[in-house]
Amino acid sequence: FYCTEFNQDSIDYYRFITHIKLFAHRLVENTTYCDDDDEDLLALMKNKYPREYECGEQVAMFIQTEYNYLLTSSELVYLTAHIRRLTKNLD
């Protein structure tokens, strides 16, 4: 999606990888993270960070297709936030 290499020594990269590992653990354990208040936050993220949100949506579609797991709004919010942190200096 971004066709770039990321600085693997950055704190943002470390946070992103940690998030992905924790998400993968929840996926394997078949547990979800859900917070009912995240619908408004998701709409805000979608408007403020459309490219990062689109990337998160593509990841969500891949996960749904490959693992039959539908991301919750909360999970998509956090994924979008981590993608934003990771890519904020690419603009």
Report pLDDT for 1. Answer: 80
91 pLDDT band (50/70/90 cuts)? Answer: low
- What is the distance between the alpha carbons of residues 71 and 69, in angstroms, rounded to a whole number? 6
Domain count, the chain: 1
Considering the domain boundaries, does residue 5 fall inside one? Answer: no
Considering the domain boundaries, does residue 6 fall inside one? Answer: no
Tokens read off for 82: 């981590």
Considering the domain boundaries, does residue 2 fall inside one? Answer: no
Considering the domain boundaries, does residue 3 fall inside one? Answer: no
Per-residue pLDDT tens digits for 42-73: 999 999 999 999 999 999 999 999 999 999 89
pTM: 0.84
CATH of the domain at 73: 1.10.1790.10
Full domain range(s) for residue 37: 11-87
CA 63 remoteness from chain centre? 11
Per-residue pLDDT tens digits for 6-26: 889 999 999 999 999 999 998
Q: Is the pLDDT of residue 30 over 90?
A: no
Task: Give the number of other CB atoms < 10 A from CB of residue 35.
Answer: 13
Considering the domain boundaries, does residue 4 fall inside one? Answer: no
Are 80 and 52 in contact, with CB atoms under 8 Å apart? yes
Considering the domain boundaries, does residue 52 fall inside one? Answer: yes
